Chains A and B, each alone.
Chain A
Amino acid sequence: MGHDFVLWIVVATALAFDFTNGFHDTANAVATSISTRALSPRLAVALAAILNFAGAFVSLEVAATIATGIVDADLVTPSIVFAGLVGAIAWNLATWYVGLPSSSSHALIGGVVGAAFVAEGSRAVFGSGVLDKVVVPALVAPVLAFVAGGLAILVAYRIVGRQRPGLVARGFRLGQVLSASLLALSHGTNDAQKTMGIIFLALVANGNLAPGADVPTWVVVSAATAIALGTYVGGWRIIRTMGSRIIKMDPAQGFAAQGVGATVIMAASHVGFPLSTTHVISGAIMGTGAAKRVSAVRWGVAGNIVTAWVLTLPAAATVGGVTYAVVELLGTDDLGPIAVSAALLAALAVVMVRRLLAGRTLTAEG
C-alpha cells in the first residue's frame, strides 16, 4: 500500500475540484431560468444543488472512465492524479474569474494528460482516446446544439406566435422549472461521478482498493456533497455571461435552449456518446438567439467562449504537467504533494486576505 497521507491530499484535492466543478457549472442549469425570471436566483441554485446531489446517487456506474482510454491507467500514480487535479482546478478558477463557461471534464482530462505526459512520456497518453473523447465531442456538441436550438425556437415561435405574449411567457417559464431540473439532475449524474472515478483511481493506484471493487459509500456521499455545495455557492460571473451576455433571451428561448440542452445530453448519453454540458448549453443559447436574429448574438462574447474551449485542454495540461514536474523535483512520495498543496493553500489564503482588505478599504473610503 502506498503513502496514505498523499492519498488523503489527493482525495481532498479531488473534492476541491468537485466543488469548483459545481460552482463553475451551476450556470448550465440555472442561467437561462434566472435570466428569464422563471426562478429567483437563490431558488434556482438551491434547486440545482439538491438535484445535483440527488443525481450523484442516481447512477453508480463509476466514471473511472474519465481517464480510461485516454491515459494508460497502469502508469497512473496518486501524484499524477494530484497534479492533474491541480491543473483542472487552476483552469476552472481562471475561467470562472473572467466569467467564461468551459468544460470542467475537459479541464480534468487535460490536467491528467499533462501530468501523465511529463511523468511517463508519450507512451502514457492515448492520442486516439483524446481525439475520440475530447476533440470530436468538443466539435460536435456546440454545433449540434446550435442547430437544434435554432430549429426548436423557430418551431416554437411558429406554434405559439399568435397567442398573447403574457400567457406564452408564463407557460414557458413554468416549462423552464422542469427543464432546469432535468439539466441539474443530468449534471449530477455525469460530473459528480467523474470525481468519484478520480478518487477511485487514486485508491486503486495507492493499493487501498482492487480495480474491480465497488465504490465506497463515503466516496459517493462526499463527491455528491462537494458538487452540491459548489452548485449552491453558485458561479455568478458565469451565470451572468450565459444568462444575459450572450443573448438577451425571452422565456421561449430560455425553454428551447434548456429543453434542447437536456434532450441532446440525454440522447447522447443514451447512445453512449458523452458530450460536455457546458458546450451543449452554450451552443443552444447561441442557436436560439441567432435563429431570431443573427445580430441578437453578441459574437464577441461567443468568440471568447469558443477561445476558452480551445484553450481548455492545453492550458490544463500545461498546469498539470508543470505541477507534476515540481512534485517530482521535491519527491513524489510525500514531500512533493505536501509542499505543492501547502503552497497552493498559502497562495489562496493570501488572495482571500487581500480581497478582504481591499473590501474593507473600499468600505472605509465610502
Chain B
Amino acid sequence: MTVFAVDTDLLLQVIWVSLVAGVGISALFSFVILGSARASEARRAGRGGAVAGYATLAFVAFALFAAGVVLGVQTMVTK
C-alpha cells in the first residue's frame, strides 16, 4: 500500500525487522555475558554440570550473535 508516495508495507517491515533484530542482538550478547559469568562462578564452586550448561548457553548465544553479524555484513555487501 502506498500513502503519499510512501510504501507503508515496506515501512512496517522496517519497523518490525529493526525491533526484532535490534533487541535480539543485545539480548544474545547479554546471554553470552550471563553464560560466561555463571560458568565461571560454577567452575569456582566445583559444579561440573552447571559449568557445561552455562558454557553451552554462552556458546550458543555467541554463535547466534556471530551469525547475526555475518548476516549484517552480507547485507551490506550485497545491497
Chain A residues engaging chain B, CB cutoff 8 angstroms: 55, 58-59, 61, 128-129, 131-132, 136, 140, 144-145, 147-149, 151-153, 155-156, 159-160, 163-164, 167-168, 171-172, 175, 178, 182, 185-186, 189, 255-256, 259-260, 262-264, 266-273, 275, 284
Contacts and interface: CB of A to CB of B under 8 A. Distances in A.
A273 B7 CA distance: 10
13 contacts: A128-B4, A159-B33, A160-B37, A163-B33, A168-B37, A175-B29, A255-B26, A256-B26, A259-B29, A260-B23, A260-B25, A263-B22, A264-B22
Contacts of B29: 156, 171-172, 175, 255, 259
A255 B26 CA distance: 8
Contacts of B69: 178, 182
Contacts of B45: none
Given A131-B6, A159-B30, A260-B22, A61 B37 contact: no
B1 interface: no
A268 B14 contact: yes
B64 interface: no
A152 B6 contact: no
Contacts of B73: 182, 185
Contact of B22 (A55, A152, A172): A152
B33 A168 contact: yes
Contacts of A168: 33, 37
A112 B55 CA distance: 55
Contact of A171 (B15, B17, B36): B36
Contacts of B36: 167, 171
Interface residues of B, number: 37
Contacts of A262: 25, 72
A186 B69 CA distance: 12
Contacts of B24: 263
B51 interface: no
Given A59-B77, A168-B37, A270 B17 contact: yes
A168 to B, nearest CB: 6
Contacts, number: 140
A59 B14 contact: no
A290 to B, nearest CB: 15
B20 to A, nearest CB: 8
Contacts of B31: 159
Contacts of A159: 27, 30-31, 33-34
A129 B4 CA distance: 10
A156 B26 contact: yes
Contacts of B25: 152, 259-260, 262-263
A266 B27 contact: no
Kindly list the 4 A-B residue pairs having the minimum CB-CB distance in the complex, ordered from nearest.
A128-B5, A148-B22, A171-B33, A152-B26
A256 B21 CA distance: 12
Contacts of A186: 72, 76
A171 B39 CA distance: 14
B32 A171 contact: yes
A128 B19 CA distance: 27
B14 A144 contact: yes
A158 to B, nearest CB: 8
Contact of A259 (B6, B14, B26): B26
